[in-house]
Amino acid sequence: MSVSTVASAQSVCAPLPVLGRDVTVPLVTGGEVTYAALDYAASAPALQRVWDDVAAYAPYYGSVHRGAGYLSQLSTDLFENARRTVAEFLDCRPDDQLVFTRSTTDSLNLLARALPAGCQVFVFETEHHASLLPWQDARVSYLDAPRTPGQAVRTLERALAERDPHGPALVCVTGASNVTGELWPVRELAAVAHAHGARIVLDAAQLAPHHPVSVRDLDVDWIAFSGHKLYAPFGSGVLAGRADWLRAAEPYLAGGGASRRVTRREDGGVAVEWHESAARHEAGSPNVIGAYAIAAACKALTEAGFETLVARERHLIAKVREGLAEVPEVRVLSLFGDDAPRVGVLSFVVEGWNSSHFAAALSAEYGIGVRDGLFCAHPLVRTLLGSDPGTQGECGAPEAAPGEKSLNAIRVSFGAGTPDEHVERFVTAVRELVADGAKWSYRTEDGRCVPAV
């Protein structure tokens, strides 16, 4: 079956069921409507199956590791089986370590703490703050935003060619932009990094929920992602990859679980022998339910089939892009151009509107939830918007300083739980707001644009 045939078939099929799919919200103009959650890039709704799996386990909840009781042993098996399930989902190498963390941000900060002395880090300015900011204590080279995938590879090639070839180096790159949704040439960037003796970590927060991710196929050294982007509840994340830097580093957190043996020294202090396994960086009682939820999401996505999910998402992307293209006042933001492959994430600005005002109207008048602002990727959005973000509307943006013309955009994002009706309603709402204006008046309150009462 061709991709186009799969897309056509999937366009009429129900998506993977998610929590909140039947929630209704009030409209300022009167009545209620089923909420259209189109902010997946921030947090995807949990899959119903994931929630059901967690609920089934909840009565058997127990402390993991070293507990003698049945529930403790059951929870320990579940926790470690979750680790193996996620490693299989990522196609990790046999000797890779997989550490459960709180989020992508937590994962990359953990890796930043594990960098060898003198390590130089190379990161594009286009990264989400989670992968842009953790390297402050290292020697960081920030690379300018490329305008094509090929330029990204060449920019990294030049930067690595000029570095000290004898010291350790790390490249950090996103798999899919949280602003434009565009896919990055990860495999090619990994090849360049390794050719110059550097390692590479992949921020897969936006990639893993939409595409299959293979550590071995992409040839990355580490991968980081968050459960709440992958249709699992909040509070869990993953860092998986090479074990040597993680084993050599001091534990990310000091405490029980990370320590193998603790003794008193003659001088009155304590001597600690730390674990060399993933436990070294998982001090304290771990988030067992979070780990189990991620594993359940990995299983659900794998069983649904990424070929089918990707094809259906392309169908939704085409609907959104074609609809926005019919509105001349809308400008979709892009680094690599209109034809660049992408996941279900698009950002845009509307001529004559402040983006916060437009997003507020989508919510209050149509029951559609999108995101507005700079999306925790300030350098990238400012690069894409330049110095002319369009005419300021009635409301300001939360990022705008007093007296500053606001620079902000609107982001719509969707995925495996999005029905066709939600994107169709979104396109219709954009067309109506641009043509007719908002039906309600709005004001700025605590930096947010809200309906005036």
Cβ-based neighbours of 323, under 8 Å, separated by 6 or more = 423, 426, 427, 428, 430, 431
Which helix (H) or strand (E) element contains residue 238?
A: strand 237-241
Q: Nearest Cα to 247, choosing from 291, 221, 287, 278?
A: 278
Selection from 407, 254, 430 nearest residue 326 by Cα: 430
Cα–Cα dist 88/214, whole Å: 9
CB 384 within 8 A of CB 336: no
Beta bridge partners of 141: 122
Active site residues: 376
The answer to whether 116 and 248 have CB atoms below 8 angstroms apart is yes
How is residue 236 written in tokens?
């869990």
Strand (E) positions, 67-125? 97-101, 120-124
Pairing of strands 448-451, 442-445: antiparallel
| Residue 374 and residue 408 in contact, taking contact as beta carbons nearer than 8 Å | yes
Cα 289 to Cα 297: distance, rounded to the nearest angstrom: 12
Phi, psi of 299 (to 5 degrees): -65, -45
Question: What is the arrangement of strands in the sheet containing 120-124, beginning at the earlier edge strand?
Answer: 97-101, 237-241, 222-226, 199-203, 169-174, 120-124, 139-143
CB 290 within 8 A of CB 233: yes
CA atoms within 13 A on the CB side of 91: 11
166 burial level (CB within 10 Å; 0-12, 13-18, 19+): exposed
How many H-runs (helices) and E-runs (strands) does the chain carry?
14, 19
Q: Give the other-Cβ count within 10 Å of 161's Cβ.
A: 11
Task: Find the helix or strand (DSSP H, E) in which 152 lies.
Answer: helix 149-161
Q: Are 415 and 207 in contact (CB under 8 A)?
A: no
